[in-house]
A and B are shown apart, each in its own frame.
Chain A
């Protein structure tokens, strides 16, 4: 709290003091009180006003400065009301109580939304598990009847279902993953087999190198991430996919590279953003702009970093870095 601001705020009071002082002067002059007496009375009044104002200023300044300091230092500003104490002056107390009440109301509101969000997510999970049963049945039927025509469409349905599931999971604060050593080779080959028909239909050659490494991650989530990357490679006209890992002292780096159409330089900074489809999205098969967004969110949650390099018409490379330290920055 600045002194000038305080003085400005008190301006009306000072005006009233000033007017009363002038009135007092007039009265005292009318009653012919001696000049010295007038000076003394004026000084006493002035000192009294100054003393009262200084006291008031210090009292408020110390409280509000602390309040503002807390506000600045807090990274979650809404926790302010938990940090400050009730002051000993009236307007401060009123502010304090208002702060407490609004905070309480906001907490209730958030809890309500959080509950609704959780319920919705639980429903999505349940629904995904249920819809997978008929898909599984249909897949077996296709196989038993020797009909491969429908299998491709079923695979697509399953991919879209997975998308929904992981989108729901990625936005959630709850921890529903397990971080344990996962063999990159295993995870990649699971995804490769899943996409084998389409890969072969599109004549895509897979190259792997140095995937005999363990990384600390959640196996299912990593599978989904690799599946998304592979889906993109297939979508964007790749004929070769090269997956290789580098084992560095403090991290393991996975390179997922294809020789597809590449990403225009202007679009590169935005590809992990929600609903961003860019030029490739407009010119190619329908793109939702969700795949890489979910990939990024999952990586963030697991504490991996993900980045991209691409040259238009030459290659696209997604780089995922897995940490090796024991303590994870898990959000």
Chain B
């Protein structure tokens, strides 16, 4: 389970973030003492840090700059400041992403998983049972037979693969598609899923995607 450190001084927000990450299958850690955040950041052995810019006594950007001298752990800046200057500054100090409050929780989770995937250096091919999933080529290979996926189908499969065994809602799938500049509507999503099912069936995996009524889909 991936560990994520939450550095956010607003208690309600911190607790809700904690809950959000916990529900999404991460192991969140809350920072509650804001006197020596820098030391805590360096001492913690986590996979990702969510860092607020406005902290008591200290500025998140300075913390980040200092932290980067020692560690490559991915950091996502969370802030209510909406100006380009802060964003440019944060990115130049080595932030991996920059998200402004209030954030769409689904997008926040997508960005977290994107950053984690980048840092884990997931290879171009992944395994789903005995199917080889190549994100670069956009293809599925099983026992020598190959199925080419469209961009949309790949995005859907990728998200389900990341959360294999869990329910992925239509809303989450939609957000992931839109996040990749594919502005599909409800019908198009259904069509994409049925096509993906068809292609998996061609490879002999006809029951791979299960529909959960009013909840979403599960990749078995």
Chain A contacts to B: CB under 8 angstroms: 128-130, 132-141, 143-144, 154, 158, 162, 165, 176-178, 180, 185, 189, 192-194, 196, 200, 203, 205-206, 208, 218-221
Contact = CB atoms under 8 A, between A and B. Distances in A.
Contacts of A138: 102
A168 B178 CA distance: 31
Contact of A192 (B12, B81, B183): B183
A206 B178 CA distance: 11
Nearest to B52: A133
A236 to B, nearest CB: 19
17 contacts: A128-B80, A132-B101, A135-B102, A136-B101, A137-B13, A139-B105, A143-B106, A154-B102, A178-B84, A180-B88, A185-B181, A189-B179, A192-B183, A193-B175, A203-B185, A208-B181, A208-B183
B48 interface: no
Interface residues of B, number: 32
A171 to B, nearest CB: 16
A189 B181 contact: yes
Contacts of B183: 189, 192, 205-206, 208
A193 B176 CA distance: 9
B39 interface: no
B35 interface: no
Contacts of A134: 12
A229 B203 CA distance: 46
Contacts of A140: 13, 16-17, 19-20, 105
B85 A178 contact: yes
B143 interface: no
Interface of B: 10, 12-13, 16-17, 19-20, 23, 54, 80-85, 87-88, 101-107, 174-175, 178-179, 181, 183, 185-186
Nearest to A165: B82
Given A129-B80, A193-B107, 19 more contacts: A128-B82, A135-B101, A136-B80, A136-B102, A137-B12, A138-B102, A139-B104, A143-B20, A144-B16, A144-B23, A144-B105, A180-B84, A185-B181, A189-B183, A194-B104, A200-B174, A203-B185, A218-B84, A219-B87
B13 A220 contact: no
Report, nearest first, the 9 A-B pairs whose CB atoms are least far apart: A140-B16, A136-B102, A143-B105, A136-B101, A132-B80, A206-B183, A129-B80, A137-B12, A178-B84
B208 to A, nearest CB: 26
Contacts of A135: 101-102
Contacts of A193: 104, 107, 175, 178-179
Contacts of B10: 133, 137
A137 B9 CA distance: 12
Contacts of A133: 10, 13, 80, 101
Given A129-B54, A133-B13, A139-B105, A220 B83 contact: yes
A193 to B, nearest CB: 5
Contacts of A208: 181, 183
Interface centre among B16, B81, B179, B183 (most CB of A within 10 A): B183
Nearest to A204: B185
Contacts of A194: 104
A135 B105 CA distance: 12
Contacts of B17: 140
B80 A192 contact: no
A318 B84 CA distance: 24
Interface centre among A143, A203, A218, A219 (most CB of B within 10 A): A143
A132 B31 CA distance: 21
A143 B172 CA distance: 12
Nearest to B11: A137
Interface centre among A144, A177, A180, A206 (most CB of B within 10 A): A144
A136 B103 contact: yes
A220 B23 CA distance: 31
A189 B178 contact: yes
B119 to A, nearest CB: 21
A45 B45 CA distance: 106
A135 to B, nearest CB: 5
Nearest to A217: B84
B104 to A, nearest CB: 7
A144 B19 CA distance: 7
A96 B192 CA distance: 80
Contacts of B102: 132, 135-136, 138-139, 154, 158
B175 A144 contact: no
A133 B11 CA distance: 10
Contacts of A132: 80, 101-102
B84 A177 contact: yes
Contacts of A144: 16, 19-20, 23, 105
A130 B9 CA distance: 13
A125 to B, nearest CB: 9
B187 to A, nearest CB: 10
B186 A200 contact: yes
B145 to A, nearest CB: 34
A318 B178 CA distance: 23
B49 to A, nearest CB: 18
